[in-house]
Every structure is written in C-alpha cells, then in structure tokens.
Structure 1
Amino acid sequence: MSGTENPPGLDLERLRRHLDAERPGLPAGALQGELIEGGRSNLTYAVTDGVSRWVVRRPPLGHVLATAHDMAREHRVISALHDTPVPVPGAVLLCEDPEVIGAPFYVMDFVEGTPYRTERQLTELGPERTRDIVLRLVDTLVALHAVDPRAVGLDDFGRPEGFLERQLRRWGKQLDASRSRELAGIDELAALLGTRLPASAPAAVVHGDYRLDNVLIGADDTVRAILDWEMSTLGDPLTDLGLLLMYGELRPTPGTPVSVTGGAPGHPSPAELIERYAAGSGRDVSSVAWYTAFAYFKLAVILEGIHYRYTLGQTLGAGFDRIGAMVPAFIDNGLRTLQEG
C-alpha cells in the first residue's frame, strides 16, 4: 500500500472527512490508498487506515458513456444480495455528490481473494483445482440467477420485457458514442443479432460482465465475492452464460490486455459449462450461440470505448495501447459464432 500521496482520481483527505461525517463509527486513522490494476472501466482503489481495509469504486476519468459507470446501481445490488447465497462484499457507503472526490463513488468491504486473470495463473494451480474453480464459477452464476428479485427488493431493477432488443440498441448507441475509426463487420454483426433474436429466458438478476477475473477466489478455491456490478440489471440470464462461454473460448495472443484463461489445463470446455449451467438452473440453453455472439459484440463495443478513451489520453494503467488492435477479432468471432450456431 502506498503512502499518503493521493492515487490518481482519489483525494484521500476528502474521503477521510466524508467517512468521518457519514460513518463516524469507522476507524478514524489517516488513509493510504492505491489504484488496483487490472480494471479497464471503473476505477478501483484499495484503501486502509493501517488497521481496517476497504475498496473504493468511482467512474473513469474523462469520457464517460451515458448509462455506464452508475455507482448507485452497483451499491444497490451488492446491498440487496448481501444476505443471499450470492457472495458479495459488504456495502459501506454510497456518495452521489461529485464534489467530494470529483465523481460519485461507493465504499465496500475489502475481501481477501485472488482474481485469476491468466492461463499461467491457473496452470500453476494444476488441472484439478482449475476445473473445480471454474465449475464453482458456474454454480455461483446459477445461485445468482436463482435469486428472487422481489424478495431482495430488486423487482424494479430493470425491465425484462424487450430486454434483448434494448440491449442491442444500448450497445449500438455506445458504439456510436465511441466511433473514431472504421470497424469492418461490426454493423453486420449488430444487424444479424437483431434479425435472430431468441425468446428470452425467465428474468433474473444478471451481472452483465460475469467472468473469472471479476470474482475473488479464496485460498480454499471457493468464490469469495463477485465484483464489478456496473452492468447489472434485471433481464435475460443467458446473457451472463454467453459472456462466460465467450471468455472460455478465447486464447491468448502476445500482449493480450484482457483476461484469457480458457486454455489452462483442466479448464472445462464450453460444452461442459453449458451442461453444468443447464443442470443447475433447469433453464433452456438451446439458443446459447446467439448469446455468445452477443457477448463478442458487447465486448467489441466495450473495448472500442476504452480504445477511444486511450486515444484521448484519458486512461490510467498499462496495456491500453494494445486494446484497439483486439477489436476486429471480437467482431470476426461474433460473426463466426452466429454462422456456426
């Protein structure tokens, strides 16, 4: 942990004063903090007073797309899920006043665990542990999708009717907001997804970005916490499954700046992941190819948005210079998945 110097985007003295005013029961020592590397969207910081530890989340610096980076949304969902079987960090505080640190933010408990991001990390665990971890990842997704939204106060968290159509429109608008270059095939992919919309599965709380490096794995290889809820909503749960399958299909290339773990020895195949999810959830997964192709499209748009912020000099951390080169592969894989499905 760094000293008292402010990490980019977080004024520690202002944060301390706000915590003292809003949560006077918290430990009152001077804060130290550091930016947690690995995130490509919202900024995440580890903060400590020397005894207790917390995590602070805020939107990225600069260019922010409409409807994205909603701190209140993230805070609400982890608060609602705290007493369910779904593992989430404890919510400490939400601040929607941008005057405090320069942007809305929330504070949550620090959870010990590892976000596995690379095949090398999993390979070091061995095939048996890798298999167990990934299957538990699927089981945790089943647990999330089994939560009754009304029972936890999330029945108004989204609009399930027309969910897939709105998702396509939303990500099309996000793409338009970040267009800075020609991207061959991306408009074709969006159009094909629109003409092949499946009938939505029964609604559930969906994470929106569910993958191995968005969870913390404990020393006992269990899922300790699901993180990064910025895209969560009430909608079609198979969008989460499609994203998980997409990440399972990816293989690393030199300089890959996104998490790729699917080629690690012991990692279950996409077919095994589908079977595990179907058996645990009882849901019809026959149209899963569409959801996987949609995941490729969504990630292409997200990466293009990050590339756009990089071109404007509005990103923090390493690896952003390589993200733009990845986008065409996501487009091609999305088209291939639709054709083969």
Structure 2
Amino acid sequence: MRASVITGGKSNLTYEVTDGRSTWIVRRPPLGHVLATAHDMGREYRVMSALQETPVPVPATFALCQDATVLGAPFYVMERCAGTPYRRAADLEALGAARTQVISTRLVDTLAVLHQVDPVAVGLSDFGKPEGFLARQVGRWKKQLDASRSRDLPAADELYARLAADVPEESATGIVHGDFRLDNVLVDADDQPTAVLDWEMATLGDPLTDLALMLTYHRLGDVLGGAAAADASSAPGFLNEQEVITRYAAGSDRDLSRFGFYLGLAAFKLAAILEGIHYRYLSGQTVGDGFDVGAVVHPLLDAGLDALKENN
C-alpha cells in the first residue's frame, strides 16, 4: 500500500491511500500543537455517516479508529470521490462564465439543503448544544485565539468585546458545517457537487454562521490570496455577494437583518484559525507549503470590525 499527502488544507492531514486496485482517503489531526476539540476525527466521521441518506453529497465512510497507537493519532477512512475542489479563479475561468455561474449557484443550493436537514431525523440530536450557540462561538474563538497567541492583537480584543456585547437572537437550529466554501466541495465534470468535505468543525447551531463565513472568504479572497483562502469567487460568472444571499434566502426563512454580526463573527473565527496555523508554522509543526499566514490576520480583524456596522 502507498500513501500520499493531499495538499490544499491547512489543518487536518488528508492522505490518499491505494493498494494499486482500490483507493481510499485517510484523515488525521495535524502534527504538533493541537487545540482542544478542534481536530476531532469522531465528529467528522459521525456527521458524514449521518448524512449518507440525505440530499447532502458526502463520501461514504468506512472506519473510524480512535486508538492513537495505530497511526500515532486518531483517524478515519472514507471513500475517494470524483471531482475537483476549485480554489482559483483561473481554474473557473477556463470553464467559462456560464459554467461558473452554475457551479456557484449549486454551491449555495447545497448549503441551503444542508441547513434544511433535521438533525433529530438523522440521529444528530446530541451532536451539539444549540442553545446559546452564538454567544458560545464568540467565547470559543476567543479561547482558541488566546491558546495560539504569539503576539499582541489589539484589534482581536476589540472585535471580541463588540461581538460579546451584542449577540443577536439566533435563527432555527440546524447542522452547521463550520468551514463551507467551494474548495471544500468536490465538483464533477457535469458541474454537480459530489462531496462536501472537511467537517472537522461541524456542530448544531445557527446555520447563518456558515453563510457568513463563506462570504467572508469571498470578500477577502484578494487580501488573503494563496496564504489562507482561494480566489475562485472572483471568476467571471460567480454569483456576487447579494446574489448569494438572495439565492440562499429563497430556500430559507431565516432572518438576515443582523447579518453584519455574523460577518464579524466569521472574521473573528477565521482570524483565530489562521493564528493557530501561524503558531504551528512558527513552531515548525506544519507539513507542506503555504502556512505562513500571519500577515493576513490583521486585515481580517479590521474587516470584522467594519462588518459589525452592516445590516443586510
């Protein structure tokens, strides 16, 4: 059997394993400094297994191993699905604006479909604690950020204080992916999503956090570039921000009047994640290229502060 690292992600490690006849995907936590609860293999495995019979496209799951003595860390094995995780505008430009519009529309539709799934119906009633979700998210990402701090970040302290002081009423509970964007979705040659990947931060809570995080990636694609996010949303034909919101709202009855808060929280969350990557990079605990993301944390925090002034 042979294994190779699949590049692109900056958190959990993903390997393609083959015996020359069949191929599987193996996921395990990153090396070195790992934040508590941030790389739970069991969560990824459980939510994908629960979604097998729903309209949400996910890989088939085969095995979960929590015994760290086998590979040195917990891991799970899943199906290798066909498709491309589009990251770059150039890749979509090669397809043309019409196909890019279809892909981005189906991306939004896939998110809306996920948020329509009843967690109780698929056996995920205890997958999270949805009550007080937004307030806990603010506190959680503050703790994650503090656990990875290697420098002063005054904008982070200000953004946290403003988020904590003005948490809105939550929308109806749903399954939250936690990092939904185009390069976490495989798209086949017919422009259909074949698999939503990277469920490491999935939970139950307010699904508008998924929409806000996806749009935060889109807004900051030019700033973050290859260091932390893709720029696919800048390709001709890709739905713009208002089109994304309108498309999502058409399949949802959620209140978007306080969407500025969700955008601010998304920026805070992403800053905490990137600061963790920066911490591991400084400690020499990363595998592959593209982990020097420290410089993008500052503009991201500033964007979060600006977002709090917005309403949809």
Q: TM-score range by the shorter chain?
A: over 0.9
* Aligned residue number for residue 153 of structure 1: 123
Partner Cα separation in structure 2 for residue 282 and residue 221 of structure 1: 27
* Aligned residue number for residue 255 of structure 2: 284
Task: Report matched runs for 1:1-341 at 5 Å.
Answer: 31-253=1-223, 256-257=226-227, 258-321=229-292, 323-341=293-311
Quick check: 1:250–1:262 contact (8 Å CA) kept in 2? no
Quick check: 1:250–1:261 contact (8 Å CA) kept in 2? no
Deviation at 1:252, TM superposition (A): 2.4
Number of residues of Structure 1 aligned to a counterpart in Structure 2: 310
Quick check: 2:220–2:300 contact (8 Å CA) kept in 1? no
Partner Cα separation in structure 1 for residue 246 and residue 225 of structure 2: 32
Partner Cα separation in structure 2 for residue 216 and residue 182 of structure 1: 38
**What amino acid is aligned across from residue 308 of structure 1 in structure 2?**
Y
Partner Cα separation in structure 1 for residue 224 and residue 295 of structure 2: 11
Residues 197-234 of structure 1 deviation map (CA, whole Å, 9 limit, x = unaligned): 11100000110000010010111001100000000001
Residues 215-256 of structure 1 deviation map (CA, whole Å, 9 limit, x = unaligned): 101110011000000000010010001011112212325863
Identify unmatched segments of 5+ residues in structure 1. 1-30
Partner Cα separation in structure 2 for residue 254 and residue 208 of structure 1: 19
**What amino acid is aligned across from residue 256 of structure 1 in structure 2?**
G
Partner Cα separation in structure 1 for residue 37 and residue 223 of structure 2: 32
SS at match of 1:304: helix
Please tell me the root mean square deviation across aligned C-alpha atoms, in Å. 1.1
Partner Cα separation in structure 1 for residue 190 and residue 159 of structure 2: 41
Q: State the percentage of identical aligned residues.
A: 60
**What amino acid is aligned across from residue 288 of structure 2 in structure 1?**
G
- Larger RCO, structures 1/2 (Cα 8 Å, 6+ apart): 2
TM-score under structure 1 length normalisation: 0.89
Runs of 4+ residues over 3 Å off in structure 1: none
Cα gap change, 1:194/1:315 in structure 2, threshold over 3 Å: closer, same or farther?
same
Partner Cα separation in structure 2 for residue 252 and residue 122 of structure 1: 16
**What amino acid is aligned across from residue 289 of structure 2 in structure 1?**
A
Quick check: 1:184–1:328 contact (8 Å CA) kept in 2? no
**What amino acid is aligned across from residue 282 of structure 1 in structure 2?**
D
Cα gap change, 1:79/1:162 in structure 2, threshold over 3 Å: closer, same or farther?
same
Residues 264-307 of structure 1 deviation map (CA, whole Å, 9 limit, x = unaligned): 11111111111111111222222222111111111111000000
Deviation at 1:184, TM superposition (A): 3.2
**What amino acid is aligned across from residue 267 of structure 2 in structure 1?**
Y
* Aligned residue number for residue 18 of structure 1: none
* Aligned residue number for residue 15 of structure 1: none
SS at match of 2:270: helix
TM-score under structure 2 length normalisation: 0.97
SS at match of 2:120: helix
SS at match of 1:176: helix
Q: Which moved more, 1:33-42 or 1:278-287?
A: 278-287
Quick check: 2:3–2:17 contact (8 Å CA) kept in 1? yes
Identify unmatched segments of 5+ residues in structure 2. none
Quick check: 2:225–2:231 contact (8 Å CA) kept in 1? no
**What amino acid is aligned across from residue 268 of structure 2 in structure 1?**
F
